[in-house]
């Protein structure tokens, strides 16, 4: 029984960890749109530091690798084009 529980836990971890990592990366676009007003200014300036620290591991790789930087910019632009009320971006 102990061996069965261990294999069930490992199977759960093998599926959950990649899914949670994908959700973490993909949550960047919706949060960027949510954090900006329609005129492009920050909606909640007090949460900008929290957002930057939450996405710091992702930003570490995005800043250093140009293909990831381009992909990240295009992904955020996709969210702004399709889901922002006035289609303006506060991403620089």
Q: What is the per-residue pLDDT for 48?
A: 84
Give the chain's residues under pLDDT 50.
none
Q: What is the per-residue pLDDT for 6?
A: 83
| 3-class secondary-structure state, position 42 | strand
pTM: 0.74
Dihedral (CA of 24, 29, 33, 36) sign: positive
CA distance 6 to 12: 10
Residue with tokens 């490992």: 10
């Amino acid at each position: 029984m102990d061996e069965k529980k261990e294999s069930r836990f490992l199977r759960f971890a093998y599926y959950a960890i990649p899914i949670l990592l994908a959700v973490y990366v993909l949550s960047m676009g919706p949060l960027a749109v949510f954090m900006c007003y329609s005129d492009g200014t920050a909606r909640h300036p007090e949460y900008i530091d929290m957002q930057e620290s939450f996405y710091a591991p992702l930003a570490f790789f995005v800043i250093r690798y140009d293909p990831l930087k381009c992909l990240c910019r295009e992904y955020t632009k996709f969210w702004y084009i399709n889901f922002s009320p006035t289609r303006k971006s506060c991403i620089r």
